[in-house]
């Protein structure tokens, strides 16, 4: 038996042109070193045709920029923020404290603690200041959460999510067929 080499999360979706140049999703990370993980979110947003921006905004190295980013995000037209950080990962929580927009946090795994440090830094928010935290390295799901939020008021995006779910189920069935060979 030779299972397909295609990973289950590599579902192809129809790419459609971005219909607006104004970013709806702010994809930020504490360091450019986080982009190896966060690029999966950028790719997914691109695949769904969602206008987004990508920025390095560090809670520790550029704290004033981080505060301004959170403060101005909604007025600039963003609808959701995805924030990834590793280690002492304060960026998602601090942005959540500075904006009424939903913030999705991505724990980025670093070398020593396999991302558990990042996860706990992001997920343990005090009541009143939520961060929707995905799994360690879960940048793709972070993008899908952002897309689902946007799809609540965007029928075209909702249809694309439905198509994506069908493609995901089809891929599982294809793998089952492969297992029979
Ligand atoms: C965090 O420190 C960043 O989010 C990154 O995950 C980590 C290490 O940053 P670099 O030293 O690689 O720039 O703030």
Report pLDDT digits (tens) over 135-152: 999 999 999 999 999 999
Q: Given a cut of 80, is residue 19 above it in pLDDT?
A: no
Mean pLDDT of 47-72: 97
The better pLDDT of the pair 32, 5 is held by 32
Q: Are 118 and 85 in contact (CB under 8 A)?
A: yes
Shortest-distance Cα residue to atom 7 of ligand 1? 86
Question: For all residues of the chain together, what is the average pLDDT?
Answer: 91
Q: Given a cut of 90, is residue 20 above it in pLDDT?
A: no
Q: What pLDDT, on a 0 to 100 scale, did the predictor assign at position 21?
A: 74
Domains of the chain: 25-154 (3.40.50.1970)
Report pLDDT digits (tens) over 63-86: 999 999 999 999 999 999 999 999
Q: Work out which ligand 1 atom sits closest to the CA atom of 60.
A: 14
86 has which bridge partners? 108
- C-alpha 87 – ligand 1 centre gap (Å): 7
135 is in an annotated binding site: no
Rounded to whole angstroms, the Cα distance separating 179 from 10 reads 18
The percent of residues above 90 in pLDDT, for the chain, comes to: 87
Q: Given a cut of 80, is residue 22 above it in pLDDT?
A: yes
Q: Work out which ligand 1 atom sits closest to the CA atom of 84.
A: 4
Q: Are 80 and 92 in contact (CB under 8 A)?
A: no
* Weakest mean pLDDT among 19-33, 35-49, 83-97: 19-33
Q: Given a cut of 80, is residue 154 above it in pLDDT?
A: yes
Tell if the pTM clears 0.80, that is, is over it.
yes
Rounded to whole angstroms, the Cα distance separating 145 from 167 reads 18
Q: Is the CB of 85 under 6 A from ligand 1?
A: yes
Contacts 24+ apart (CB under 8 A), 122-127: 122/85, 122/89, 122/92, 122/93, 125/93, 125/96
Q: Is the CB of 39 under 6 A from ligand 1?
A: no
Q: Is the CB of 31 under 6 A from ligand 1?
A: yes
- C-alpha 108 – ligand 1 centre gap (Å): 9
Q: Which residue spans within the chain are E strands per DSSP?
A: 25-29, 52-56, 80-86, 103-108, 132-133
Residue 13 pLDDT class (50, 70, 90 cuts): very low
């Amino acid at each position: 038996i030779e299972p397909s080499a295609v990973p289950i999360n590599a579902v192809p979706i129809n790419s459609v042109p971005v219909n607006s140049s104004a970013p709806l999703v702010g994809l930020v990370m504490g360091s450019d070193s986080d982009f190896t993980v966060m690029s999966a979110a950028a790719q997914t947003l691109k695949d769904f045709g969602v206008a987004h921006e990508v920025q390095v905004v560090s809670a520790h190295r550029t704290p004033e920029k981080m505060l301004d980013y959170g403060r101005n995000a909604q007025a600039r037209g963003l609808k959701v923020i995805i924030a990834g950080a590793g280690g002492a990962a304060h960026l998602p929580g601090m942005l959540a404290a500075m904006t009424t927009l939903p913030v999705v946090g991505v724990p980025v795994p670093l070398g020593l603690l396999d991302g558990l440090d990042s996860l706990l830094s992001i997920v343990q928010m005090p009541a009143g200041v939520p961060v929707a935290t995905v799994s360690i390295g879960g940048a793709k799901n972070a993008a899908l959460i952002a897309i689902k939020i946007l799809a609540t008021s965007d029928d075209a995006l909702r249809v694309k999510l439905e198509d994506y779910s069908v493609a995901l189920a089809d891929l599982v069935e294809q793998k089952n067929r492969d297992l029979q060979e």
